[in-house]
Amino acid sequence: MPPLIRRVFGHVVFRNAAVLYIVQISSYVFPLISLPYLSRVLTTEKFGMVAFAQTFVWYFVLLTEYGFNLTATRAIAIHGQDREGVSRIFSAVLIAKTLLTLIGLVILLSIVGAVPQLRPYLALFLISFLSVVGNMLFPLWLYQGLQKMEHVAIRDFLAKLLALGALFLLVHSDRDYLLAAGAQSGGLLLAGLAGLITVPWQLKVHYRWPGWGAVREQLEAGWPVFISLIMAAFGNITNTFILGLRSPGAEVAYFSAIWRVISSLRSLVSPISGAVYPHVSQKASRSETDVIAFIRKYGLMIAAPFIAGGLLLVMGAPWLVPLFLGAKYRPAIIVLQLTSFSPALFAFQQIFSTYYMLACGYYKAWMRMIMVCMAVNFVVLVPALFLLRGSVALGSAQLATDVTAAALYCWFYFRQRRRLLAAAAEPDHASSL
């Protein structure tokens, strides 16, 4: 094997990215495998209701994550050699996530109880909420920060494979729609329990009572990122929620089925981000120009496969949708075409926002850009809902938001790069005089 390839394959970033891909396969590809089955055994109305409940509880997943996947990961990456310090951070974040999960449960029960059309589906919402609990328990941020991802992949994969098998075994018709939701949420719960239980002996990180001050410190550190992330996800989740209240269940099914495919492809960007982010955070603590050099070298390489995938989806949508989802999902073809380049645009967003803006501490600028993107989403969505079918309106709003976000992050990066390169050239110019 050539030395260059050996160095790449042996690098901790490559190994962690490979492991994160296994985790993402179980989190997104397994549900994608079940999608053709569920789209055929459930009616579009019941499929749409399950998708609606799962989308709704994603609000509470965001609440529980609270930005810790970025802030806690960064803190642990910086203090990784101090196991006692890492234990305090781990304990404080876990307590904070538990409190946020309990708050989320209270909010969920209040909303479902207050909305008459949701009240009959209380059991469905509670079963779907198990995915929030699983997300709270699974300390992926700890493994990422310590760059020890090899410890989580196999058991996470097996837990979700078991849940996939249960879905095929137990779900056969509309009567089993609660089991369909339970199988998907149960896989996340099992993975979360397995990930948390094995922390002490695998990572030598132990639970310590950190004191309420340390919990508050982690909440304060995560607050700006939490606001930014929830605004970034607010558009898509709220769009689906509005669609569920305004349109027939079939329209929710069309968009949700396609978005599950697109989300699975977008998730292929996340393992790279999860592995690279601690690495570039360490670079940023030394020099911002090192991060710029990294992006110049690897940025286009990361995005290229997703650009090619977008072209294939646009051209192949008329054949892929009936083949994958069934003939009754033909109205969703245009939705797939509208969102085909969402994974590629998301890759560019990660390159210029996560790798650069967040690693280098540009949180306020990042938040402002997310607010602009959220405004664009609703500016496009409101008239689109009156002019187009519901699922097509959501696809159009998603496309506009993705393009805006990628353009803004890219503009910020190139502006800062020009500024830094000009500043670096000034001493050389002065010495030549």
d(CA 343, CA 366): 20
What proportion of the chain, given as a percentage, has pLDDT over 90? 24
The upper half-sphere exposure of residue 338, i.e. CA atoms within 13 Å in the direction of its Cβ, equals: 20
pLDDT above 80: residue 255: yes
Mean per-residue pLDDT over the chain, rounded: 82
What does the pLDDT average to over 135-145?
84
Are 360 and 412 in contact by the 8 Å Cβ rule? The answer is no
Q: What is the pLDDT of residue 318?
A: 94
In a domain, 153, yes or no: yes
In a domain, 105, yes or no: yes
The token duo for 74 is 């960064």
What does the pLDDT average to over 417-432?
67
Residue type, 111: I
The token duo for 52 is 């609606």
Are 98 and 251 in contact by the 8 Å Cβ rule? The answer is no
Q: Which domain holds residue 72?
A: 9-425
Q: What is the pLDDT of residue 27?
A: 63
Span 369-421, pLDDT tens digits: 888 988 898 899 889 988 888 889 999 999 999 999 999 999 998 988 888 87
Which of residues 290 and 131 earns the better pLDDT score?
131
Angle in degrees, 0-180, between the axes of helices 249-267 and 342-349, rounded to the nearest 10: 50
Q: What is the pLDDT of residue 150?
A: 63
Nearest to 422 by CA among 254, 327, 292: 292
What does the pLDDT average to over 257-282?
76
d(CA 2, CA 8): 10
Span 289-331, pLDDT tens digits: 888 888 888 888 888 889 999 999 999 999 999 988 888 899 9
In a domain, 1, yes or no: no
In a domain, 4, yes or no: no
Number of domains the chain is built from: 1
Ramachandran area for residue 412 (φ above 0: left; ψ -120 to 50: alpha; else beta): alpha
Span 342-368, pLDDT tens digits: 999 999 988 888 788 877 878 788 888
In a domain, 406, yes or no: yes
In a domain, 3, yes or no: no
Backbone angles phi, psi at 389, to 5 degrees: -60, 150
In a domain, 433, yes or no: no
**For residue 190, what are the CA distances in angstroms to 13, 63, 76, 168, 256?**
27, 20, 25, 18, 24
pLDDT above 60: residue 4: no
Q: What is the pLDDT of residue 235?
A: 63
Beta strand segments in 363-433, E:
none
**pLDDT band, very low/low/confident/very high, at 430 (cuts 50, 70, 90):** very low
In a domain, 370, yes or no: yes
**pLDDT band, very low/low/confident/very high, at 3 (cuts 50, 70, 90):** low
pLDDT above 60: residue 134: yes
d(CA 83, CA 71): 18
What does the pLDDT average to over 184-201?
84
The token duo for 72 is 């806690």
Angle in degrees, 0-180, between the axes of helices 249-267 and 212-246, rounded to the nearest 10: 140
The token duo for 389 is 């079918």
pLDDT above 50: residue 433: no
Out of 116-130, 190-204, 265-279, which region has the weakest mean confidence (pLDDT)?
265-279
pLDDT above 50: residue 277: yes
What proportion of the chain, given as a percentage, has pLDDT over 70? 84
Beta strand segments in 105-197, E:
none
Which of residues 12 and 325 earns the better pLDDT score?
325
